[in-house]
Structure 1
Amino acid sequence: MKRIVKIGLAGVLLTSVFSAGAYAASVIPKIFIHGNQINSSSTAPKLIDGSVYVPLRTISEGLGVDIEWDNINKTVYVHSDPQFKAETGSVTYVNQRNLAFQWIMAYDDRRKDDVIALTAPGFKTDLYNESFPSGTYNMASIVEMHPVDRNDTSITVRIVQRVTAEDNYNVKTEKWKFTFEGTDKIKSVMIVPKSTQYFDRYTLFPGTSFGE
């Protein structure tokens, strides 16, 4: 069951992250998310009374989750639905997610027959530049995938990919939008414009990191 967490705001959005001990107030803490340093675009992190405070938007954007501010009710929604009243579209979502995930795994492993079996006639994509799906470019390189948006006919998945075929060993995050034909075929898979980001490294959890 989805739970909405409401956090009241006063002035700048700040969230306590961890106890920092007795540091000088002039020290500006650094923020690392998935092993990458994140710079706050608004208010810098602060040390106040031995605790580190970080702008909530900085943390949310670094984790790739949505944040929404309700000025009337003075409420912030982090990866939550302000209009949530009852579960809707769950069956459609699960079907879309399963189709998208099956396609991503088949694409990543270059399983040509499985990829073709999931796509509708006239299938379109802008994900690859070589003779997919028989090539070896970036084979088995996707390390994480997470749905981030959907409607009745499409779902958008955020992927994390090791970029092994380029000169520099980097990690790429990108959003792929899947559109569907009926309930069992994929009509297109397109990169969401301006969604591509490159990082030096990406930590899924301690002990499992990718990159330099």
Structure 2
Amino acid sequence: MILIASSDAAIATLWHKELESQFSVYEVDIHERRALDLCLKKVPFEVLVVDLQLLGESGVNEIASLRDIQPQLHIVIMAKVPDEREEISAIIFGAKAYCHFDIQLSLLPKVINTVMANELWVDRKFVTRLLLEIEDITQAKHQEAKHLDKGIATMTPRECEIAGLVATGASNRKIAEQLSISERTVKAHLGVIFRKIGITDRLQLALYMNRHQQITSIWHGSKPPHQDKH
């Protein structure tokens, strides 16, 4: 069954009339978000044709919350002001189609058949734009990895060891006990580490080390430099 939801009652009626001759369409169209959530909780649907504006300021970010209610739901986003990056986000967040409000009504049945076949209905240049977006993200992550690696590379094996323990939440006393050194020595090492990587406190160091570990696992598939040394 198909559910139609739009804050514009007139356009919802047009979509409804176009689809009801070929599909089972829920008899009541939805015109506000709260009613949409309630309806999804009570009635199982195969396809939701939804006006993006009805989802509120969060827009395509709300797609995930709709799928939380009905995980198997095929979502068709209808946008009054289409945006290429928004289209990418909509698909990534789980929509099966992203269409313009001014789409030819005769195409709507094709859109529905496409998403019911678990395929995507998107702009013909969508894949190219998606690949470019992925490339931009990849380059940004690579640059971040290089920056983090550069900071880690300035540390001695002992400094890396201490920084790694800070990242686990260990106190200076715990670090001192584990490494058989004094707390004063730990503090001295931390002071040097802070200067080397341009930070000012333990929290920043913990975030730095954890982020480096995340990025390292993606780019290198190995442990950070020095981490296996003593």
TM-score, normalised via structure 1 length: 0.24
**Greater RCO (Cα-Cα under 8 Å, separation 6 or more):** 1
TM-score, normalised via structure 2 length: 0.23
Q: Which has the larger radius of gyration?
A: 2
Structure 1 or 2: larger helix share? 2
Structure 1 or 2: larger strand share? 1
